[in-house]
Chain A
Amino acid sequence: MPQDMPPTGGYEPVQYKRNLPARGFRPSVYLFGVAALMTYGFYKVGKGIREQNELAREKMWSRIYLIPLLQAEEDRDLVRRTLADRAREKELLGSETKVYNSDRFVRPTFAISPSSVTK
């Protein structure tokens, strides 16, 4: 039996390559496009961070300028309460008793409450 032979003129070339049209731009265009977009974005982010820093500085200094005022008021109130407390103690006990074994000023954490509220 004769063997099958290739057709005369040989086989047609086998198509192994993809034969699709390349869509869009060249890849390098996309690369540079994304790079440009990122650069612009980071530029804006940087601007925003700089402005935030300045805003934080503004807020901090506004508070710094107010601190002595607030602290003075608070201290005056504390002194008033302490003196009133001492006077009350003197009136009730007849002497000033030292609760702590030191001369350091300790913020009072207790208060004598009246048995009946008078206000």
Chain B
Amino acid sequence: MAARQPRFNQQVLIDTTPLPDNIPKVTEIGASSAPLLSASYFIGARCKPYNDDYMVCKTEANGKGEMECMKEGRKVTRCAASVLDDINKHCLQEFRRHWECLDNNNQQLWQCRGAERQLNKCVFENLKLEKVIPGTPEGETPVHLRKRQIYAHY
């Protein structure tokens, strides 16, 4: 309940004051959950150093650090935006197919392997980003590359 958004009785009041001018501007991502989920492994692959920097900064500030980590946070956002821009530029069709499939299937990744395979192929050819799941047991096909998905209903 602590993180509940304050709501007023009459209207929802939204503070629209922008950030002061001495803080550099950054365009927010503005994507909904399905495209983000679809692109997450590529964001992770390209932006790992920035993400790690940011998380180290947050950890050193004991999980606070909203002010201190703004610079790293901007880098994280810009990097993720660049990945999404590149995917949109080169693989728009495959990307759209995959995240629409995710949206239609309760955002369960195993239901959309066909679309995902095409997206991964296109992204690997154009952006040289590969989906790797850390911690997969040795000598086992990673779950996203398996021919048969036990739980998928196709």
Interface residues of A (CB under 8 A from B): 47-48, 51-52, 54-55, 57-59, 61-69, 71-73, 75-76, 78-85, 87, 105, 109, 111, 113-114, 117, 119
Interface residues of B (CB under 8 A from A): 6, 8, 10-11, 13-20, 23, 26, 28-29, 36-37, 40-41, 43-44, 47, 50-51, 54-55, 58, 64-67, 69-70, 72-74, 76-77, 80, 109-110, 133-136, 140, 142-144, 149-151
B17:A69 contact, CB within 8 angstroms: no
Give the nearest-CB partner of A104 in chain B. Answer: B64
A51:B150 contact, CB within 8 angstroms: yes
A58:B44 contact, CB within 8 angstroms: no
Among B8, B67, B142, chain A packs the most CB atoms within 10 A around the CB of B67
B15:A76 contact, CB within 8 angstroms: no
B69:A58 contact, CB within 8 angstroms: no
Nearest chain B CB to A13's CB is how many angstroms away? 63
14 contacts between A and B (CB under 8 A): A48-B151, A51-B150, A52-B151, A54-B133, A58-B109, A65-B51, A66-B36, A66-B40, A68-B55, A69-B36, A69-B43, A73-B28, A78-B66, A80-B18
Q: How far is the CA of A81 from the CA of B65 in the complex (A)?
A: 15
Give the A-B pair count, Cβ closer than 8 A: 125
Contacts of A119 in B (CB 8 A): 14, 16
Contacts of B55 in A (CB 8 A): 67-68
Among A57, A69, A75, A80, chain B packs the most CB atoms within 10 A around the CB of A69
Query: What does DSSP make chain A's interface, helix, strand, loop or mixed?
Result: helix
Contacts of A66 in B (CB 8 A): 36-37, 40, 43
B73:A113 contact, CB within 8 angstroms: no
Q: How far is the CA of A23 from the CA of B41 in the complex (A)?
A: 61
Cβ-neighbour of A83 out of B20, B36, B136 (below 8 A): B20
B40:A68 contact, CB within 8 angstroms: no
Q: How far is the CA of A111 from the CA of B15 in the complex (A)?
A: 10
Q: How far is the CA of A58 from the CA of B102 in the complex (A)?
A: 14
Knowing A73-B28, A111-B6, the reply to whether A61 touches B73 (Cβ < 8 A) is: no
- Since A75-B69, A82-B66, A87-B17 are in contact, a sample of 11 more A-B pairs with Cβ atoms closer than 8 Å, ordered by chain A residue number, is A54-B140, A55-B109, A62-B109, A68-B76, A69-B47, A71-B73, A72-B54, A76-B77, A79-B23, A79-B66, A111-B6
B41:A72 contact, CB within 8 angstroms: no
Give the nearest-CB partner of A65 in chain B. Answer: B44
